[in-house]
Amino acid sequence: MAFQILKPEITNISKAVLDAIKYQWQFWAILLVAFIVSFGLVIWIGFSEMVFAPFLAVILYVTAVRHKIISSFWKRFAEINGWAYEYYGSTEQEQGVMFRQGEDRNISHIITGNIDDRRFRIFSYNFSIGSGKRKKTYYYIVFAFRFNGAFPHIYLNNKHNSYSISAGETIPLPVEFEKNFSLSAPRKYEIEALAIFTLDVLAGLLDNGFAYDVEFVNQEVLIFTDGQINDFGGLERAFDQALKLEDLLDEKLDRFKFQQIGDMPHTL
């Protein structure tokens, strides 16, 4: 599927944040006064806690500016390409294994549209593992394409990104592919998984340097790009990889059919 995405006005989030705060002289003037007052209080009455107030103000201000610019980036990206945008989503509506990981699960910046009559979604997703100092948050940009066929729940795990998922039955793959990925499917549905991940598909993934997790569920293929995307160039590259996978699988998945095996569940 060949598609040229259009570029929004903001092309680099970090640069846009710096530009936004650089010219806010009123804020910096107020902050300078706050620093002077804070250090004066420390010197005069020993109220040392006050010294951290200006630093906290900077953190809160920059966080607010960054949050606003990230929203503008995704909203304008959707608008300029003729797609719909929503700020918040719900993980409760998602059936994938990835959306059952960890705690504090969040979906945001949801873009929906069509490319060549193919329904697709893009959204941000994150979850956290652990608590306190050991808490770690994992971030993804997700590309999802809907197909006409029906297929069981399948998970392709990239062994080299930040988080690994293992569910269901692990399916043996050629050695050169197993170095990078593991493939899982519900018990008894290994044949269907291998009917999708044929040798030509595996070779195509390797040739394209594909480096993401992929989940097949409810007639959708979800591609989880590891980490946050903060500039248009990174988004363009990730989108291109997602479209290459869609192109690799489209004919097969649009006509794919499977039969449930007795009472064996076809979900992970």
- Average pLDDT rounded to a whole number, residues 108-116: 95
pLDDT in tens, 48-59: 555 555 566 667
243: its two tokens: 């479209």
Q: What is the pTM of this model?
A: 0.88
**pLDDT, tens digit (0-9, with 9 covering 90-100), for 190-219:** 999 999 999 999 999 988 889 999 999 999
Percent of the chain whose pLDDT exceeds 90: 57
CA angle 194, 196, 114 (to 5 degrees): 160
| H-only helix segments in the chain | 13-22, 25-45, 53-80, 175-178, 190-196, 199-207, 232-255
Residue 45 has pLDDT above 60, yes or no: no
Span of 11-15, 55-59, 63-67 with lowest mean pLDDT: 55-59
The residues with which 129 forms a beta bridge, in sequence order, are 136
- pLDDT-based confidence at residue 176 (cuts at 50, 70, 90): confident
pLDDT at 33: 59
